[in-house]
Amino acid sequence: MAMLRWGILALLVAAGCIRFPPDLRYALRVVPQEALLEDVRYYFDSEDSTAVFEQEGFRLKLRYLSDQALNREYARFTFREPNLNPFTYGENRDLDRGYAPPRFTVFEMTVVNQTYPKVMVDPAKMVLHTDRGGEYRYWGVLKRDADNSFERYYMERRGKGGNEDYYYQERMGLVREALFRRHTFVFKGDDYTGKVVFAPLHAKVRAITVEVEDMVLRVDAFDRPKEVTSASFEFAVAHEIAPVPQ
């Protein structure tokens, strides 16, 4: 019986009745634009591939994380069934397109404070603008904290069954651990790193600007902002779809 089924499948493939999707890989490349470096407050750190804004010992470092980089970082959760990597589709290809599309747009942000008593950067004050007029807001953990939240996103995708709550909790645990936390002071001599997430970019986007508003450099006795600054990072974007090497 099994032989018969395989024989029928072979005939259907030979006749062109069954079409398998191509095995493709999607890559998004996001690199700082040269114009950004014309401002003396910005530079590119080749050691960790970050775009850097610096002001009197305060540094804000921003680095785009590709799906490939995120899959490697979360390899223990990605290359399994089901994929528990909360930031990518892993190896789950879209069968119509033949590749795994981007699930989100993810940056790693680092605050380095060498000068001020304490500083604070709020990811909720970040906005991503595209050359197509798009305006993307950051994704938070909980529904009550942000219009876009991982809690809502994965609640809506949670299936029915005994393991689904476990998968949901695993993904949310990774999100809580990874995201850049709001209302977090970075004291003199310290640094802090976390991820900032936006919606996936449209396939026709070729340039983006990430604006970081109201970064707090000094506060009064009640922790109210007394001195703030802003930064604006410009990136060129390239989309690449290529066959997976055999």
Mean pLDDT of 3-23: 54
Is 39 among the domain residues? yes
**pLDDT at 170 > cutoff 90:** yes
pTM of this structure = 0.89
Q: How many domains is the chain partitioned into structurally?
A: 1
Please, are residues 80 and 39 in contact by the beta-carbon 8 Å criterion?
no
**pLDDT at 180 > cutoff 60:** yes
The pLDDT tens digits for 57-81 are 999 999 999 999 999 999 999 999 9
Is 191 among the domain residues? yes
| Spatial distance between the Cα atoms of 172 and 155, rounded to a whole number of angstroms | 10
Is 3 among the domain residues? no
Q: What is the DSSP string of the chain?
A: -HHHHHHHHHHHHHTT-S-PPP-EEEEEEEEE-GGGGGSTTEEEETTTTEEEEEETTEEEEEEEE-HHHHHHHTHHHHSSSS---SS--TT--BTTTTB---S-EEEEEEEEESSSSEEE--GGGEEEEETTS-EEEPEESSTTT-SEEHHHHHHHT--SSTTHHHHHHHHHHHHHHHBPPTT-EEETT-EEEEEEEEPPPPTT--EEEEEEEEEEEEE-TTS-EEEEEEEEEEEEEEEEEEEPP-
Is 12 among the domain residues? no
Residue 129 pLDDT level (bands cut at 50, 70, 90):
very high
* Containing structural domain, residue 80: 26-243
Q: Are strands 191-198 and 105-113 parallel, antiparallel or unpaired?
A: antiparallel
Is 74 among the domain residues? yes
What pLDDT does 53 receive? Answer: 97
Is 44 among the domain residues? yes
Mean pLDDT of 88-104: 91
Is 8 among the domain residues? no
Is 63 among the domain residues? yes
For tokens 């380095």, the residue is: 112
Quick one: which of 109, 104, 125, 106 has its CA closest to 50? Answer: 109
